[in-house]
Amino acid sequence: MPEPTRPTDMVGKALALLTQLGEYPQGVVASELARRCGFPLSTAHRLLGALVRDGFAAFDKSTKRYTLGLRVFQLAQSVSQAHGFTGLARPILEQVSAATKEATLLAVLDGDQQLYVYSIGGPQQVSVVGEPGRHGPLHCTSQGKVLIAFAPPEEREHLLATLELSPRGPNTITNRARFREEIDRVAKQGYAIADEEHEAGIRAISVPVYDGQQVAVAALSTAAPAYRMTVAELVEHLPTLTQAARSLSAVMPLG
């Protein structure tokens, strides 16, 4: 991935620090945050002090580590409520996992990435995990393909033209013409498959969760180890996923 443009204003720098904090659930020292963001340590200390003061970050004096503060949790709950990522959605995903005996994931489009909002593990000892709040790639995942295929036309075309098609798994599509053909196929058939494209040994199938204009506001998927689930077996779960996606559309006030 290309290096993101570093913010030059103080608000942007504070938000950059806050974003990096989210990558360290166990906490991180200021020097590491400064290094990751490309800021002088003095600037990082000053901004972190302001974030701690206002509750967006917390500081442990004994370990000298910073973590996200409760103010972030409060705001996250407001976003969750506004976008329907509440307790109403979770039982639907749990029903899918009960039927498929595999992991069920829900993600939304966030710029040129997908953002995991739910991950329900399957009952098997080995299960695929998509940690809520984490980002993942679009081009090599079944959810990402769905989010592109059923995005508004302008956004879809932008992603098809600009998305970096970096190799991830053994079957990642890295040719832009082939990738466009793949997205056209997804749009036509109404679901996407990722067969060891994001990671070796992982297969997944995904369907869109639509708004009122048949635009995907989320992508719902079943993911499983390749040794346990063939592509044909994944497709057998399509009716379960499609019905669950309809139910999610009814409880997620999006669009």
Tens of pLDDT, residue by residue over 35-65, are 999 999 999 999 999 999 988 898 988 899 9
Tell me which range, 40-44, 54-58, 154-158, 251-255, is most confidently predicted by mean pLDDT: 154-158
- Rounded to an integer, what distance in angstroms lies between the CA atom of residue 9 and that of residue 6? 9
Tens digit of each residue's pLDDT (9 = 90 or more) over 2-16: 444 566 688 888 988
Tell whether the torsion through CA atoms of 92, 97, 100 and 103 is positive or negative.
Answer: positive
69 & 193 share domain: no
How many percent of the chain have pLDDT more than 90? 60
Residues 54 and 165 in one domain: no
**Is residue 78 assigned to a domain?**
no
- Residues 118 and 190 placed together within one structural domain of the fold: yes
Do residue 219 and residue 174 come from a single domain?
yes
pTM exceeds 0.85, yes or no? no
pLDDT at residue 125 in the model: 64
CB 60 within 8 A of CB 67: yes
Asked whether the predicted pLDDT for residue 110 surpasses 60, the reply is: yes
How confident is residue 252, by pLDDT bands cut at 50, 70 and 90? low
Confidence of residue 74 (pLDDT cuts 50, 70, 90): low
- Say which residue, 20 or 122, is predicted with more confidence: 20
Q: Does residue 2 belong to any structural domain of this protein?
A: no
